[in-house]
Amino acid sequence: MMVKFRAESIFVLTTLLAAAGWVFSKQAIEELPPFGFIGLRFITASLILLPFCFPALKKASRQDCLRAMGVGVFLGGSLFCWIHAISLSPTLGEGAFIMSLSMLFVPLLAWPLHGNRPNRAFWLAFPIAVLGLFLLSWNGAWQIAVNQLWFLAAAMGLALHFNFNSQYSAKLPAMLLTTLQLFTVGCLGVLLCWLFERWPESVSIMTWKWFALSVLLATSLRYLMQTIGQKHANPTNAALLMLLEPVWTLILSMLVYAETMPLNKILGCALLLSALALYRLGILRWR
């Protein structure tokens, strides 16, 4: 009983770290170029995890490693859309709820990619999610903001990564797979920064502190805690607890950026959360 409670507590802290990562990232890109920030963050995080992967790396074939890094390109595309959306957004809560839709997009993309038709839980949850997005975009008239489109693109990219990751990268241990993909994202970020961005002549110590927090807490520690929690937590409880990330992000955005939540946005977020809960519970019951 205590082990189960401890695992669920770890999951709650994991979602809080993930939410804090939104704030750390937004604060860091006030001075750092967004693509350059992603590049440095993920290369550093991969190097921190690398010592734990040496035995698995020696046993892995070159083909499997290259395949895992290739799938990491999809993850990079998602993260670059996400950081660009954050750079355009004055607040974070709304974007976090849109990003959480990535799990609903997974079966939608699996249908044309792999021929797997979505199950009944998806068709029940999807219209609720669409209504939630409609309410989030309602401002006297229906109008989707540019940052919302980038968050949607990031969610679609994350779903695309999930589909290919499940199919092509099952042969590698989770830690090695994550490290290779984080390194791939980092290298792509550095390349995009070199091509399209200018690095500032000076960066404040405070910005480097935000960068360090995003690497150590929101990336490396978050992944480690999630892995530990998954070993002992009940799958149903774990799936529902992971839904806390957009809720924590919204709370932090209200505290740090004074995000306002009119009634239509409150209802929109509630519907998105309900759609995700309905889908995840339906998936677990079907399994």
Q: Which residues of 131-168 are buried (b: 16+ CB within 10 A; e: fewer)?
A: bbbebbbeeeeeeeeebbebbbbbbbbbbbbbbbbeee
pLDDT of residue 230: 62
Nearest alpha carbon to residue 83 among 208, 188, 212: 188
- pTM comes to 0.90
Q: How confident is the model at residue 60 (pLDDT cuts 50, 70, 90)?
A: confident
N residues, the chain: 287
Average pLDDT, the chain: 86
Residues 183, 181: Cα–Cα separation, whole Å: 5
When pLDDT is averaged across residues 235-240 and rounded to a whole number, the result is 65
pLDDT of residue 175: 81
